[in-house]
Amino acid sequence: MQKFAKALVVAVLGWQVRRLYKKNNFKVVAVAGSLGKTSTKMAIAKVLKQKYRVQFQDGNYNDIVTVPLIFFGQPLPSLFNPLGWLRVFWNNERQINNKYPYDIVVVEVGTDGPGQIEKYARYLKADIAILTGIAPEHMEFFADLDAVAEEENEITSFSQKIIANKDIIDEKYMAKLEKQPKTYAIKQPADIRLTNVQFDGFESSFSVQKNGSLFLKATHELIAEPLLYAAAGAVAVADELNLTANEILAGLKDIRPIPGRMQRLDGLNGSVILDDSYNASPPAVKAALDTLYRLPAEKKIAILGNMNELGKYSEAAHKEIGNYCDPKKVELVITIGPDAEKFLGPAAEAKGCKVAEFDNPYSAGEYLKPLLGKGTLVLAKGSQNGVFAEETVKLLLADPNDAKKLVRQSEYWLKRKVASFKINI
């Protein structure tokens, strides 16, 4: 029954999106890749808004059901809420029969298994697709990294132009793209490249080169490499859509970290928290640790939760992160979840790090409360299920009202978290 209901909803939504295309003239930018999609999507939207009317969704609508809703600005009802879906379909029809108020729609295209991205082709035609990177993701469902690349590259089959992150996509995967991509990078020459990247505390500055020549210079509160890649991708898309350097610069100044993605928050007793709790993969955790290591602080603590859905690669991946923990740069490593405890923690201890292990985020937070003080910098990073490191962050906030800035704070999510750990809080 659930499968039938979902198929029916997808069919109707796809039919409505196709009709919206036929009656209007707007462009679509689709963001795909193994990491950094949401930050890149938001950066693109912020920059493009300097010139165009842009439709986007600031959360995580990124599957076959939710992506069509972005075109119409509609909320997601429960699958078994017929009145809710009838209201959505009715509102969509009203929009189809009126002039569309947007020039560009920016969508995020997600997958957690083979064969999913090709399904978007039923209704999605992208003028520009941006591929943020190829890295291990959902490895319970992919045989290897080649399979991940094959799935992510499928977006090229229904996109006119491709923009690709040259630093995080191996050359062999670049070569398999159906179309010659425009590239962006930080670490090597590319069509759009961030150069002279400098970090000064919680601020960064950089230059942007276009085809090897200086295009613009910017100073920003982007303190982590993944956010700089998001900015570089936004510049590449904006340049493709003919924004001027001044328009792009104004848009870059409007980019801010979003909940759960390297967001700086005030912690207890004058401490500072880097909330990167939305999700975790090996490259993303390493990037987060690099940021923690680089920032100035008297004491540094890393909360590292399980990296989920890695399948047969989980043991090696968690040990790799444990080995990446540097006792000279982090005073304490906190683990949350079984694989983090079993593999990451012991590897970090073997490197000389002090480690404390927990099976839920609430206990980790209570443990950390008395350890925080002025000059303490805390990184929170982990996957979703079985970790929910944002709940650790919540217990460490100086202002409890800042909980609204965290990810997964709806009533649905809060109940799900408590139930998943079978504890009373």
Give the tens place of pLDDT for each residue, 3-58.
888 899 999 999 999 999 999 999 999 999 999 999 999 999 999 999 999 999 98
The answer to whether residues 94 and 129 belong to one domain is: yes
Domain boundary among 253, 273, 305: 253
Query: What's the domain range around 321?
Result: 263-421
Count of structural domains within the chain: 2
Name the pLDDT band for 354 (thresholds 50, 70, 90): very high
Which of helix, strand or coil describes residue 136? coil
The answer to whether residues 225 and 88 belong to one domain is: yes
**Between these two residues, 313 and 2, which has the higher pLDDT value?**
313
Residue 321 lies in a domain: yes
pLDDT at 293 over 80: yes
Supply the mean pLDDT for the chain: 95
Residue 369 lies in a domain: yes
The answer to whether residues 168 and 149 belong to one domain is: yes
Contacts of 114 (CB under 8 A, 6+ apart): 141, 142, 147, 150, 151
The answer to whether residues 270 and 247 belong to one domain is: no
What CATH number is attached to the domain comprising 132? Answer: 3.40.1190.10
Domain boundary among 253, 271, 299: 253
Neighbour count for residue 98 (Cβ, 10 Å): 10
Q: What are phi and psi of 82, to 5 degrees?
A: -60, -40
Q: Please answer whether residues 356 and 368 qualify as being in contact, where contact means their C-beta atoms are separated by less than 8 angstroms.
A: no
Q: What are phi and psi of 218, to 5 degrees?
A: -145, 150
Burial status of residue 118 (CB atoms within 10 A of its CB: 0-12, 13-18, 19 or more): middle
User: How close are the terminal C-alpha atoms of the chain, in Å?
Assistant: 35
Q: Please answer whether residues 287 and 226 qualify as being in contact, where contact means their C-beta atoms are separated by less than 8 angstroms.
A: yes
Q: What pLDDT shows up at residue 418?
A: 86
In order of 76, 163, 332, the CA distances from 178 in angstroms are 33, 12, 46
Nearest-10 crossing angle of helices 282-294, 225-240:
110
What CATH number is attached to the domain comprising 317? Answer: 3.90.190.20
Q: In angstroms, rounded to a whole number, what is the distance separating the alpha carbons of residues 40 and 130? A: 9
Does the pTM of the predicted model rise above 0.75?
A: yes
Name the pLDDT band for 1 (thresholds 50, 70, 90): low
Burial status of residue 99 (CB atoms within 10 A of its CB: 0-12, 13-18, 19 or more): exposed
The answer to whether residues 100 and 239 belong to one domain is: yes
Q: What pLDDT shows up at residue 141?
A: 86
Q: In angstroms, rounded to a whole number, what is the distance separating the alpha carbons of residues 93 and 125? A: 20
The answer to whether residues 152 and 267 belong to one domain is: no
The answer to whether residues 178 and 291 belong to one domain is: no
pLDDT at 270 over 60: yes
Q: What pLDDT shows up at residue 74?
A: 96
Residue 289 lies in a domain: yes
CB-based burial, 283-311: b 16+ in 10 Å, e otherwise: bbbebbbebbbebebebbbbbbbbbbbbe
Q: What pLDDT shows up at residue 425?
A: 57
User: pLDDT per residue over 359-413, tens digit each?
Assistant: 999 999 999 999 999 999 999 999 999 999 999 999 999 999 999 999 999 888 9
In order of 108, 243, 362, 371, the CA distances from 365 in angstroms are 32, 45, 5, 10
Q: What pLDDT shows up at residue 424?
A: 63
Residue 203 lies in a domain: no
The answer to whether residues 302 and 366 belong to one domain is: yes
The answer to whether residues 269 and 369 belong to one domain is: yes
Residue 207 lies in a domain: no
Helices (H), 204-244: 225-240
**Between these two residues, 84 and 424, which has the higher pLDDT value?**
84
